Each structure stands twice: as structure tokens, then as C-alpha cells.
């Protein structure tokens, strides 16, 4: 799936559906999906998908070989969703958590989601969270797992850059990404452990299924980066859904550069950093708490540093690959814009928790 411009990529985005008057999430996913189907959308455009709860919907880009192509696809899918939502009388919101409590919602009635509801109980009802998931192509599953080990230290930096969920049920949580804290209550929703091989990864997932902490038919665990269960890709799923297309493009550009950098290290037999699991968890929590305006843990040493320093280290790590891909200038400009304007969490706080102040499409 890789070409001269580098591996292909795709992005999935999850959105809340809220009442236009009071901002509370509305369980109308099916109505929005029907509205989109009836508008005569292009047969080549990916269909919108149901999510865990009826107050959420997922969009997806196609397979893209450049950031320009990805930007065009994400802009088109967001515009499509906004149009379908208007027909259904609601607004789509790009926030990692719902700023206001839902008036009513249900678990989406698919076999998989029903299994999850039986297994996880109230956790299912309370996980009204939206993320930005980036898929990057790799040659095969063994390579995907080797790449995964190299990605582990950098996932908290991607989270800090995307943090966009400070409010929950009308209150400021004090966290930049409350979504991460909500998801941390689920088994395996964390930075993945180090895996020796694809076989080791698959045995681990099978053990978790047998233990009863994953649904019996689950194809994968919920780690914040993982090999896809059905595609030759690595999926990075640590980021909150971003307020803008540009920030989703930024996540994709950095994610692809991290994967390509890791692929080069794997080819040269460079061992992945063995970040202890407890330090990986500490780095993730710190990123969720502070975003880019506060401390972070250095991705390679674990020292406490400013979050902007951790971001600088990431950019240095992937800089040569960004230049080779032709993405360097664009990624640097997008990073500078986030640093100047603030993350989604900072911008939400400036507006306050009120209807009409959240990032709608």
C-alpha cells in the first residue's frame, strides 16, 4: 500500500449529535444516517457508521496518499455530516466528551455493542466519547507489531496536541482530555504493552478474551495503538476528535511520520525503547491532565519537562521523514497554529460551557 510519497493513510472521526437549542446529545444516529443515504451521496464516498451510543456517529476518509487528498476528504465528509444532521434537526459537535448530559440515549443495537453492554454494564452508557483514529499502511502484521513498539513513547504527545474534552455534564473537569480518563476505566484502553511478535500480540488478545475482560467475539483489544484486525495498517487511536480539519490532518501527518520512522528503525534492526508500562501510563495521564499548557514526561527519558518540549522532541524525531514526504512545512505551520491558538480544550474553555460555544461542523 506504500508508494513514492510514503505509506497511505486514512482517518476515522467520531462526532456527537446535539440538540440545536440546548446542546444536549440526542439519540438520533439512525435518523442522521437515513438523511445522508437519501441525499444521493456519491457511491464512492464511505458511508457513515453507527457508534457505541445512539448519540454518536463515525465518519471515515478513503485511502489517501497525501495530506492534501486527506484534507479534501475530511472536509467533504464533515460537510456531508453537517447537512445530514441539519435535516435531522441536530448539530454535529467535534468534542471528545459531551459538555452537557444527554436527555436520552441507547446502546446501538448491533450484536457487538449488545455484547459490550452485557459485559461492561454502566460503563457502556457512560462512554459518550469521540476520538480521531489514524490508520497508516504497513507491509504485514509482523511489521505492524514491531512498529507498535516504537510508537509507544510518542502517543502521549499526540494526545496532548489533540486534547479537546475539558467539560463533562456541564462542569469543567480540570483535565484537557477527560475522554482519556473515561476510557481508562475500560480494560486495555491504555498505551499497549511491548510485544515480541505478532503471535505474541494475538496470544495476548486471545488470553484477554478467555479471561472475560474482552467480548468473546472481539477481534481486537482497545489499546491506543494497535494493528488493525482486518487491514494491513497500524491504527493510532489516542487523539481526541479535533475541532478542525487542519488538526485532524496534523494528527495524520505526525502519525504517518512516526510510522515511517519506526519502519526504518525496524528495517535497520534498531530496538524499540523499552518504556516501562507504569511510565507509559504516567505520561498518558499527564498529557490528559495538562494538554500542551503544563508539564509532560519526556518521551525517551521520562523526565518531567514542559509539554512544548516533549512536542519539540517529537518533531525532531520525525523531522527527516516529514521532509522526505514533503509534509514538513505544512506540519510545522499547523503545529505553530495550535501553539498560538491553543488546543481544542483551551479554546472550549475560553468560550465556556454553553450551547453554541462548542466546535460544530
Tens-place pLDDT, residues 11-29: 999 999 999 888 889 999 9
Q: Residues 58-79: what's their mean pLDDT?
A: 96
Of the listed ranges 107-116, 225-234, 237-246, 268-277, the one predicted with least confidence: 107-116
pLDDT digits (tens, 9 = 90+) for 301-319: 999 999 999 999 999 999 9
Q: Could you give the CA distance from residue 60 to residue 51 in angstroms, rounded to a whole number?
A: 12
Tell me 272's DSSP state.
P
User: Cell for 48?
Assistant: 457513515
pLDDT digits (tens, 9 = 90+) for 30-40: 999 999 888 76
What was the pLDDT predicted at 257?
A: 98
User: Cell for 215?
Assistant: 467480548
What was the pLDDT predicted at 5?
A: 64
Proportion of the chain above pLDDT 70, given as a percent: 95
Instruction: Place 6 in a pLDDT band, splitting at 50, 70 and 90.
Output: confident
With CA atoms as reference, report the closest residue to 291 among 181, 211, 204, 200.
181
What was the pLDDT predicted at 44?
A: 66
* pLDDT greater than 90 at residue 72: yes
pLDDT digits (tens, 9 = 90+) for 107-162: 888 888 889 999 999 999 889 999 999 999 999 999 999 999 999 999 999 999 99
What global pTM score does this model have?
0.95
* pLDDT greater than 60 at residue 1: no
Domains of the chain: 2-346 (3.30.590.20)
Contact 310, 298 (CB under 8 A): yes
HEC per residue, 39-96: CCCCCCCCCCEECCECCEEEEECCCECCHHHHHHHHHHHHHHHHHHHHHCCEEEECCC
What does each C-alpha distance from 91 to 71, 87, 299, 352 come to in angstroms? 21, 10, 38, 18
- 259: alpha, beta or left, given left = phi > 0 and alpha = psi -120 to 50? alpha
Report how far Cα 182 is from the mean position of its chain's Cα atoms.
Answer: 14
pLDDT digits (tens, 9 = 90+) for 268-285: 999 999 989 999 999 999
Instruction: Place 356 in a pLDDT band, splitting at 50, 70 and 90.
Output: low
Report how far Cα 357 is from the mean position of its chain's Cα atoms.
Answer: 22
What was the pLDDT predicted at 191?
A: 97
Reported residue count of the chain is 361
Q: Residues 200-213: what's their mean pLDDT?
A: 96
What was the pLDDT predicted at 178?
A: 98
* pLDDT greater than 50 at residue 167: yes
Amino acid at each position: 500500500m506504500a508508494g513514492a510519497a510514503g505509506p497511505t493513510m486514512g482517518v476515522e472521526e467520531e462526532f456527537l449529535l446535539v440538540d440545536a437549542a440546548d446542546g444536549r446529545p440526542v439519540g438520533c444516529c439512525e435518523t442522521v444516517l437515513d438523511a445522508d443515504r437519501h441525499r444521493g451521496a456519491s457511491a464512492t464516498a464511505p458511508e457513515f457508521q453507527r457508534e457505541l451510543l445512539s448519540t454518536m456517529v463515525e465518519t471515515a476518509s478513503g485511502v489517501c496518499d497525501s495530506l492534501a487528498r486527506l484534507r479534501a476528504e475530511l472536509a467533504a465528509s464533515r460537510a456531508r455530516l453537517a447537512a445530514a444532521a441539519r435535516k435531522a434537526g441536530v448539530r454535529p459537535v467535534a468534542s471528545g466528551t459531551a459538555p452537557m448530559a444527554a436527555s436520552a440515549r441507547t446502546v446501538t443495537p448491533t450484536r457487538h455493542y449488545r455484547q459490550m453492554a452485557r459485559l461492561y454494564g454502566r460503563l457502556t452508557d457512560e462512554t459518550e466519547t469521540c476520538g480521531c483514529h489514524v490508520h497508516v499502511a504497513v507491509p504485514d502484521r509482523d511489521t505492524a507489531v514491531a512498529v507498535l513498539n516504537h510508537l509507544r513513547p510518542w502517543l502521549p504527545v499526540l494526545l496532548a496536541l489533540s486534547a479537546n474534552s475539558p467539560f463533562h455534564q456541564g462542569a469543567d473537569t480540570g483535565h484537557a482530555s477527560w475522554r482519556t480518563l473515561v476510557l481508562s476505566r475500560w480494560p486495555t484502553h491504555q498505551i499497549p504493552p511491548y510485544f515480541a511478535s505478532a503471535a505474541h500480540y494475538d496470544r495476548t488478545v486471545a488470553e484477554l478474551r478467555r479471561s472475560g475482560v474482552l467480548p468473546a467475539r472481539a477481534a481486537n483489544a482497545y489499546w491506543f495503538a494497535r494493528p488493525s484486525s482486518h487491514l494491513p495498517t497500524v491504527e493510532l487511536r489516542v487523539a481526541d476528535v479535533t475541532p478542525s480539519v487542519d488538526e485532524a490532518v496534523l494528527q495524520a501527518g505526525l502519525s504517518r511520520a512516526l510510522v515511517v520512522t519506526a519502519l526504518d528503525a525496524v528495517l535497520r534492526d534498531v530496538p524499540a525503547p523499552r518504556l516501562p508500562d507504569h511510565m507509559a501510563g504516567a505520561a498518558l495521564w499527564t498529557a490528559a491532565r495538562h494538554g500542551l499548557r503544563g508539564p509532560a514526561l519526556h518521551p525517551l527519558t521520562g523526565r518531567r519537562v514542559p509539554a512544548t518540549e516533549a512536542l519539540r522532541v517529537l518533531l525532531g524525531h520525525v523531522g527527516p521523514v516529514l521532509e522526505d514526504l514533503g509534509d514538513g512545512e505544512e506540519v510545522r505551520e499547523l503545529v505553530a497554529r495550535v501553539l498560538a491558538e491553543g488546543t481544542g480544550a483551551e479554546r472550549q474553555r475560553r468560550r465556556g460551557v454553553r450551547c453554541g460555544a462548542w466546535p460544530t461542523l
